[in-house]
Amino acid sequence: MRESQIRASLLLALRDRHGADPNTLIRQELGLCAGARRVDLAMINGELVGFEIKSDQDTLYRLAGQAEAYGQVLDRVTLVTTARYIDKAAALVPTWWGLIRADPADGSGQTPTGNKDVSAREAVLTRVRPAALNTEQDPFAVVQLLWREEALAILRERGLHRGLERKRRWIIWQHLAEAIPLPELRALTRDQLRARRTWPGGH
């Protein structure tokens, strides 16, 4: 199966379930760790959830590095892959990652939402393992999701911006990561991502 087939079916399933929720943002190719990594799909609501796709045409050589980076930032991660890789990939990712197997659509499968598959879907997605909550995020990695001005605005609201107005983003990120407890920092970051009106490359 091709990556485009799996992505289209996953997007359709997520939009079926969350598309009517104004507090949920679904974003493709979300940059993490200052752009060093990009997760294929991200869903942002009360949690920051990532979906990584590995098709039959992909290899797994980057998966270990991706797992390390994603674990610094994301609340939950699900790997979506084919029967070719599902067992091998399961051994390469943390146990808190979810697993979804993608098979060619034949009209008889079910989506991760539990709804019957429809002809518009190009893949049948079957949940193999649900994603658990990641409790090991790195505050500095989390704040790197924010643009410089977004991070500075959060500090400014708390009167913590003195001496930082002209500093580079790395210094601002470091101050923010040290100033605010991680649970609040995660919530602030999610709120800011959902509030954005523009993104590089469009919506």
Q: pTM of the full predicted structure?
A: 0.87
Mean pLDDT calculated for residue range 58-68: 90
Q: What is the pLDDT of residue 200?
A: 65
Q: Are 186 and 154 a contacting pair, CB within 8 Å?
A: no
pLDDT of 56 higher than 70: yes
Q: Checking DSSP bridges between strand 76-82 and strand 98-104, what pairing results, if any?
A: parallel
Kindly tell me if the per-residue pLDDT of 33 is higher than 80: yes
Secondary structure letter of residue 197 according to DSSP: S
Model pLDDT for residues 66-79, shown as the tens digit of each residue: 999 999 999 999 99
110 band by pLDDT with thresholds 50, 70 and 90: very low
CA-nearest of 174, 124, 141 to 69 is 141
**Of the options 3.30.200, 3.30.110, 3.40.1350, 3.40.50, the CATH number for the domain spanning 3-108+117-129:** 3.40.1350
Lookup: tokens for 87: 């067992």
For the chain, what are the domain ranges?
3-108+117-129, 139-195
| Cα 156 from chain centroid (whole Å) | 27
Helix (H, G, I), strand (E, B) or coil at 59: coil
Q: What is the arithmetic mean of pLDDT over 6-26?
A: 89
CA 132 to each of CA 50, 140, 167: distance values in angstroms, whole numbers, following the listed order = 12, 22, 37
Residue 81's pLDDT is 94
| pLDDT recorded at residue 34 | 87
Looking at 134-143, 160-169, 177-186, which range is the least confident one? Answer: 160-169
